[in-house]
Structure 1
Amino acid sequence: MSTQASDLAHRLAERAELVCRHYLSNGRRVGRYWVVGDARNAPGRSMFVRLRPRKGGQGAAGKWTDAATAEHGDLLDVIRESCGLLEFRDVLAEARRFLSLPQTEAESKSPLPPVPIGSPESARRLFAMSKTIHGTLAETYLRTRGISALHELTSLRFHPRCYYRPHDDLPTESWPALIASVTTLDGVITGVHRTWLDRSGLSKAPLDTPRRAMGLLLGNAVRFGRAHDVLAAGEGIETMLSLRSALPTLPLASALSANHLAAMLLPSSLRRLYIAHDADAVGTAVATALARRAEAAGIEAIPLSPRLDDFNEDLRTFGVDELRAALRIQLAPADVVRFLPSAAA
């Protein structure tokens, strides 16, 4: 933390209860703590902000812990989350405003303007506000689905309190969420996909629609690895990450739905496309349509078929070794040596 930020955090801690009453107004004081639902000021009792040090001076005032998510931080984090700020300079500016301190030249700039809900810019801001999945409920969720290949997941992030609106006439809720960036072939984020999670991380959240996407999706995809001459494409994120457990270096793309898979844009350098389809009539039809498009562009198209409904079910039912053996006979010989971990041994 910079000297400036450290000084502001210290000043805020000296006024911890006033800060909480202002930014966490849905909470209340309980002994030496302010108790509230989370750092975004949701009602509840899972987050504890220490208002004064423990006896003996241990345990700094202004520090907080969320028992539901294991997150922790200081009062600058509270200002960031409760105000929905993205840029750290805006957090510092708000802290200075609260403390009635003069603004610096950099902090006096206007905050980011509002953007339309569901727009690509809104999607980019949500992805920027999220954090790496390692050590979070998102990692717990993926491991519960049997997915252990969690390397180089720059397209996936975790948000501990992602807004969810059941219907237009109902209040907004907040749930933990796995956030996936949807990008163009050049890596520009055009949208995000959200999978809201149960607060244990062991399953999806108990919502009517626990998966939603926003932004520009058509032609784009969630990408794992950069494709050059070979790519495997399919529908769901879990489906493609299951393939990654068996083929950890094969570039993958998740189009998120059957219709978007059929319309996914393909790299001009691509020479071979594996189409990982679900074992139903829609999945087979989409694989056929995408194969025709690929072959018309001079790209060899090879279907990858699961034994059960999809590759995640195969992974959870049979294990990674059997999944790898089933994929081995479906790959082109050159790719067996290139992408199967045990083939080159």
Structure 2
Amino acid sequence: MARHDASELAHRLGREAEAVCKHYLSNGHRAGRYWVVGNAQNSPGRSMFVRLTGPESGKGAAGKYTDAATGEHGDLLDIIRESCGLVDFKDVAEEARSFLSLPRHEPDPAPKPRSGTAPTGSPEAARRLFAMAQPISRTVVETHLRKRAITALHDTGSLRFHPRCYYRPEGGGPTETWPAMIAAVTDLGGIQTGAHRTWLLPDGSEKAPVETPRRAMGNLLGHGVRFGMAQDVLAAGEGIETVLSARSGLPNMPMLAALSAAHLAAILFPTTLRRLYIVRDSDPAGDGARDSLVERARSVGIEAVVLSSMLGDFNEDLRQLGIDALRAALRVQVAPEDVDRFLAA
């Protein structure tokens, strides 16, 4: 879709926001100025709010939605895409045009996902995206990580490369494609429940110049991106690059990236876990996650040890101070019995 086409369709749908919601989100209901439903896949519930009135564009525009459970937000074109299980944005545009030609007084029942498709944002869609990607060796992803001084790339099967991953601007506009790092989010049993996308420049030098270069999909709560399988010891942090940087100095320690401070605080513990290292981010959200995770771990008899960076985060330590300084800083923070077991020589 051209930018003008997408914007015009979004504006027209916004003028009919309540009719759109009745049609595609039939399991919801109107509550004041909002349509309330479980999610954009039309599940029953009350966590997603679609604004029914407001300007055509900008803050507070009619048709904009927020899912309080996941933090996801978008517009009515996104709702059409997700409720219908569409992948190609050409199909989204055709569906929107078809809807706009329907009489307003008799909206059709909410359409069911097409056979063979998975609702966008669902765990199944996350699994399909990961399956479509390729190993990171000799790709833009490996280039990007090495430019961040991350060279310990063993046991990174949870990371893959997608050469042309769709990016949908949150404020509307044409769909873009960028290279992306795709990370599998898995549960304690190794079952994939979600995926995390990091869009990159084609040369891997930086993240793509988009508003939100990182986005997650699927079921994340309690799970994470895993590097190695944890038994009695695990290190957990927020971001993938932060965790991989700490892993450069502790190459034999199983680690997990929870993808956000809130999700870090809620990770599930393996039944065999006895010691948890918390790879701390130096900010208020990181402090809150640390405190909550320490309390949860200790309440079930797991020793909690906080690993603190010297600078802003562990990747900054790695890039600016070097691997030897990072290794020395970690050596004095890990338990003595874990030095020989997990620390690089």
Letter in structure 2 aligned against 1:164 = Y
Q: Which moved more, 1:162-171 or 1:175-184?
A: 162-171
1:303 aligns with 2:303: no
- When the two chains are superposed, the root-mean-square deviation of aligned CA atoms in Å is 1.4
- The one of 286, 310, 331 equivalent to 2:334 is 331
Q: Separation in 2 of the partners of 1:142 and 1:167?
A: 26
Q: Is the 8 A contact 2:167 2:178 kept in 1?
A: yes
- The one of 263, 266, 269 equivalent to 1:266 is 269
| Cα shift readout 1:25-72 (whole Å, capped 9, x = no counterpart) | xxxxxxxxxxxxxxxxxxxxxxxxxxxxxxxxxxxxxxxxxxxxxxxx
Letter in structure 2 aligned against 1:173 = E
1:152 aligns with 2:151: no
* Per-residue deviation, 1:112: 6.5
Q: Separation in 2 of the partners of 1:320 and 1:237?
A: 18
Task: State the percentage of identical aligned residues.
Answer: 61
Larger CA Rg, structure 1 vs 2: 1
User: Partner of 2:96 in structure 1?
Assistant: none
Q: Separation in 2 of the partners of 1:128 and 1:168?
A: 28
Q: Separation in 2 of the partners of 1:310 and 1:254?
A: 14
1:238 is paired with a residue of what secondary structure? helix
1:247 aligns with 2:239: no
Identify unmatched segments of 5+ residues in structure 1: 1-82, 85-110
| Cα shift readout 1:164-216 (whole Å, capped 9, x = no counterpart) | 00136312111000000000010000100000001111110001100000000
Question: CA separation of 1:195/1:115 partners in 2, compared to 1, >3 Å: closer, same or farther?
Answer: same
2:329 is paired with a residue of what secondary structure? helix
1:302 is paired with a residue of what secondary structure? strand
Q: Separation in 2 of the partners of 1:283 and 1:152?
A: 26
Q: Which runs of 4+ in 1 moved over 6 A?
A: none
Q: Separation in 2 of the partners of 1:169 and 1:275?
A: 38
Q: Separation in 2 of the partners of 1:114 and 1:283?
A: 37
Letter in structure 1 aligned against 2:208 = A
1:136 aligns with 2:150: no
Q: Is the 8 A contact 2:161 2:180 kept in 1?
A: yes
Aligned residues: 234
TM-score (norm 2): 0.66
Aligned positions of 1:96-245 closer than 5 A: 113-167=116-170, 169-245=172-248
Quick one: higher RCO (CA 8 Å, sep 6+), 1 or 2? Answer: 2
Q: Separation in 2 of the partners of 1:282 and 1:184?
A: 23
Q: Which moved more, 1:201-210 or 1:279-288?
A: 279-288
User: Partner of 1:287 in structure 2?
Assistant: 290
| Cα shift readout 1:129-168 (whole Å, capped 9, x = no counterpart) | 0000001000000001110001121100000000000136
